[in-house]
Amino acid sequence: MLLIGLTILGYLIGSIPTAIWLGKRFHGIDIREYGSKNAGATNTFRVFGRKLGWTVLVIDVLKGTLAASLPLFFESFYMGFKDEQLILQLTTAFAAVFGHVFPIFANFRGGKGVATSLGIVIGINPLAAGICLVIFLFVFLSSRFVSLGAICASLLFPIVSYYVVGDDTRIMIIFTIVLSSLVIVAHRKNISRLLKGEENKMNLLKKKA
């Protein structure tokens, strides 16, 4: 029952469509009809500017961290099997990513889950999250491609977690590979545009004109 309850809570937290709600609240439009038509932080920067973009980014990251941290508040309900807390954290975390991509509060059309995934990693493995964030920033600042930064950080996440941080348990290995794969699959259109030289560059620090 605890697993089911936390999964539902994680999904509902992930389903909060930050970019959609804030876009409608402050600009009266659905962000899914503009820019890349993605309901995520990057498109929010592109369509609405940095103020709303940073707001969406922070909230979406916090969604992931909150979801991954939920099981910590229910330790008194644990049954006591091996790696129970980590299993509950990962299950709730994946439910949050699924909710972000397919939000029940926005007709199941959401974002790609990158910011929420970062929040999850922060909640479960903060050191790996910090290293991957540095990788993302290095690639992004060098190329101005947000998608390329996210893809590179995702590809290296399992390697960083296993070889650098030392999380070598089977469940963590599976978690890092699955989460990395989900992010990359979500960027399949971006990968196609990058290969064709059609991907748009961005400056997240620049104000919207």
Mean pLDDT per 10-residue segment, the chain (209 residues): 91 96 95 91 91 95 95 85 85 92 93 90 91 94 92 94 85 89 88 91 62
pTM for this predicted structure:
0.85
CB of 148 within 8 A of CB of 193? no
CB of 7 within 8 A of CB of 95? yes
Please give the structure tokens belonging to residue 128: 């790996």
CB of 40 within 8 A of CB of 112? yes
pLDDT at position 206 is 56
CA distance 68 to 124: 7
CA distance 209 to 207: 6
pLDDT at position 205 is 55
CA distance 151 to 184: 6
pLDDT at position 209 is 42
Of the candidates 38, 51, 41, which has an alpha carbon nearest to the alpha carbon of residue 18?
Answer: 41
Measured CA distances, 23 to 18, 20, 48, 101 (Å): 8, 5, 8, 17
CA distance 18 to 116: 11
CB of 157 within 8 A of CB of 179? yes
CA distance 207 to 47: 11
